[in-house]
């Protein structure tokens, strides 16, 4: 399988390509140059906001792992250019070139204003907490439209806190380890059918925030457990825990 990975120079992207480069033929891209990536696949510098560059990337590709874009809150203008427009260009290129499988890096911030302690599932209503979160909700809705019109399947991963290990109380419900993130993406690439499924990018199938048991249906079996780190963070100052899943992101712009 030939896989295009956008945002390959980012934290998630680089760890992913190091783990899977022997399994797939990789086309790697990022807006910043990264010579290290050349040892893991064919690297092509590109700006996802430029449709002609995205179109070139998508030629002869079987699937796309779309990690590219701004990964935190920013101005609307920057989020619009990189996340809204960039994601649209990915789907248009997939349509044009007949690519039928996309793994989309969504975010828990697409549902950031959902209250904590109710364990929401994949059908939870979009309640974005930021322009960033709104761009991820947009991406999930775009995926639904392209599936209905063009039969492009998408696994939207509402990623929580991608860290080496949990560092605060909120992470007991939002943390995903490096190897679990890699595993989840591979499960999405290899699944027989995903239509427009939503999975939570956390190292858990069920916790106080997320009901992620649907991910088990495609073979996801987290190897790491945030509870293993509970004692380490019990004495950490309580922070970033609000009444909402999005944590401090729900306070941005107020």
Q: Which of 24, 88, 91, 132 is catalytic?
A: 132
Give 73-85 pLDDT, tens digit per residue. Answer: 999 999 999 999 9
Confidence category of residue 253, pLDDT binned at 50, 70, 90: confident
Our answer to whether residue 132 is catalytic in this structure is yes
For the record, the structure tokens of 36 come out as 């290290």
Q: How far is CA 46 from CA 22, 36, 37, 79, in A?
A: 23, 16, 14, 17
* pLDDT given at position 125: 97
Helix (H) or strand (E) holding 46: none
Average pLDDT, the chain: 96
Helix or strand run (H / E) with residue 29: strand 25-30
SS3 category, 222: coil
Structural domain span for residue 90: 2-251
Provide the CATH number for the domain around residue 163.
3.40.50.720
Instruction: Answer whether 53's CB lies under 8 Å from 16's CB.
Output: no
- Rounded CA-CA distance 112/70 in Å is 17
**pLDDT for res 239:** 66
Dist CA 232 CA 7 (whole Å):
32
pLDDT digits (tens, 9 = 90+) for 24-50: 999 999 999 999 999 999 999 999 999
DSSP 238: P
Rounded CA-CA distance 87/53 in Å is: 13
**Given this model, what pLDDT does residue 236 score?**
73
Query: What are the pLDDT digits (tens) for 205-243?
Result: 999 999 999 999 999 999 999 999 998 888 776 666 789
Q: What is the pLDDT of residue 210?
A: 98
Distance of alpha carbon 74 from alpha carbon 59, whole angstroms: 31
First vs last Cα of the chain: how many Å apart?
46
Contacts of 80 (CB under 8 A, 6+ apart): 131, 135
Alpha-carbon distance of 183 to 189, in angstroms, equals: 10
Q: What is the pLDDT of residues 134-193, one digit of tens each?
A: 999 999 999 999 999 999 999 999 999 999 999 999 999 999 999 999 999 999 999 999
The H or E element that residue 209 is part of is none
d(CA 73, CA 165): 22
Q: How many domains does the chain have?
A: 1
């Amino acid at each position: 399988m030939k896989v295009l990975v956008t945002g390959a120079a980012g934290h998630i992207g680089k760890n992913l390509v190091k783990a899977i480069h022997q399994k797939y033929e990789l086309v790697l891209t990022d807006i910043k140059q990264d010579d290290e990536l050349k040892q893991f696949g064919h690297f092509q510098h590109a700006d996802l906001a430029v449709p002609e560059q995205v179109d070139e990337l998508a030629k002869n590709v079987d699937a796309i792992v779309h990690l590219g874009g701004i990964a935190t809150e920013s101005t609307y203008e920057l989020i619009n250019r990189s996340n809204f427009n960039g994601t649209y260009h990915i789907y248009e290129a997939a349509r044009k070139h007949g690519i039928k499988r996309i793994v989309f890096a969504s975010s828990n911030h697409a549902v950031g204003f959902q209250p904590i302690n109710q364990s929401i599932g994949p059908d939870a209503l979009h309640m974005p907490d930021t322009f960033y979160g709104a761009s991820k909700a947009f991406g999930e809705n775009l995926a639904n439209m392209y599936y209905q019109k063009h039969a492009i399947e998408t696994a939207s991963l509402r990623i929580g806190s991608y860290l080496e290990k949990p560092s605060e109380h909120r992470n007991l419900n939002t943390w995903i380890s490096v190897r679990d993130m890699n595993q989840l993406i591979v499960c999405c690439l290899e699944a027989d059918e995903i239509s427009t499924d939503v999975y939570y990018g956390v190292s858990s199938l069920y916790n106080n925030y997320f009901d992620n048991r649907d991910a088990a249906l495609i073979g996801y079996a987290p190897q790491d457990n945030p509870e293993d780190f509970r004692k380490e963070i019990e004495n950490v100052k309580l922070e970033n825990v609000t009444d909402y899943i999005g944590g401090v992101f729900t306070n941005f712009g107020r």
